[in-house]
Amino acid sequence: MAILPIVEVPDARLRETAAPVPEVNDDIRAIVADMFETMYDAHGIGLAAVQVGIMQRIVVIDLQERELEEGEPREAARDPHAYINPEITWLSEETASYNEGCLSIPEQYAEVTRPTRCRVTWLDTEGARQEAEFDGLMSTCMQHEIDHLNGVLFIDHISRLKRGMLLKKLDKLRRG
């Protein structure tokens, strides 16, 4: 396993469409393992393969929402899920807003409005077809990560004015 370098804006790879995974095999499972290691190291809750420069339709998510018992290490709350070739098959009309961030746009956050619920199909790490409906933070995170596979970033969902301000702040942060 390895921690991979995270691709950040304005890297052009973040604007490309990722290719479907033709077969779930050991190579793909190795990528998934590296993606989890990279995501945990960066304290993220979701990561798309394009964010580590792998142009394939792979997403990992772990909201790590379980409350820790006293003395339990942070790792005990881990609940890793991998989604290969995920596809949104339904979105609710009802919408909700979350303050979103992204490992490819460091330390910048903005309120993003998306459908509250989504239905998704995907392949698991054994190559079996899965389907589920998500709501709350999981729905938001899933839509955010699938956007990455299509070259879309959360800042595309906010106003041009807010996007400009956010990118300016990022520029300032990088220049120290």
Q: Is 145 in the active site?
A: yes
Q: Smallest Cα–Cα separation from 46: which of 28, 59, 31, 32?
A: 59
Cβ-based nearer residue to Zn ion, 24 or 52: 52
Q: Give me the least distance between CB of 169 and Zn ion, in Å please.
A: 17
Cβ-based nearer residue to Zn ion, 127 or 136: 136
Q: Give me the least distance between CB of 103 and Zn ion, in Å please.
A: 6
One character per residue 49-88, x = contact with Zn ion (rule: CB under 5 A): ----------------------------------------
Cβ-based nearer residue to Zn ion, 31 or 155: 155
Q: Which of 14, 21, 58, 102 binds Zn ion (CB under 5 A)?
A: 102
Binding status of residue 146 toward Zn ion by CB under 5 A: no
Question: What residues are labeled active site?
Answer: 145
